[in-house]
Structure 1
Amino acid sequence: MAAFTVGLAGAADDTKPYPVMDGTGPGWRDLTAEDFTRVNCDPETFTWKGPGEVHCTGQPVGVLRTKEQITNFELVAEWRHNQFGGNSGIFAWASPASIARLEKGEG
């Protein structure tokens, strides 16, 4: 599961712990399914379950990328595997050329 948010973070009350990003500052925009495209996987590999929440089956291995390049962002992700093993992660700053070379089922 991953949650994506782009924008600027504002400070909260400095006397107690607070989230650095709360999504309310100027320039914030939540990314949705319409902001992403599948690169080398089936339509069922990645599904959106709610605002900012995407689930991945891992079958076949594949990549989900933003349609537009983003140059200034903060990313918050919860990551969990239901099975042992495997290779996964989040690519940040991957070039369009490297993404274009991915074959279906190869992450």
Structure 2
Amino acid sequence: MHSTYLKFLLLVELAVGQPNFGALIELKKGIQKDPFGVLDSWDSKSLASDGCPENWFGILCSEGHVTSITLNDLGIVGDFHFTAITDLKMLQNLSVSNNLFTRLGT
């Protein structure tokens, strides 16, 4: 019984983190050029047990909530979908300077 309960709690925790995870995947979809390949680390199969993206470049997360996105000076080119990050309620830092983004969804 304990094992079933723990599995259920893990699934609930992962579900809570899904909007944050989904928002980051949506951001990644808009990228057309990533010269250093840093967004290759944004792998949908790489999530920690608390639902946070695990070892994703430029992403800080706590208890299933993205708190920081830092992608400065990477030469990234693409569309930045601001609407994709509106569900990141715990986001405290967004820093994407010195890239070439087209602003979408403001």
TM over 0.5: no
TM-score, scaled relative to structure 1: 0.30
Report 1 or 2 for greater relative contact order, CA contacts < 8 Å, sequence distance ≥ 6. Answer: 1
TM-score, scaled relative to structure 2: 0.30
Bigger CA radius of gyration:
1
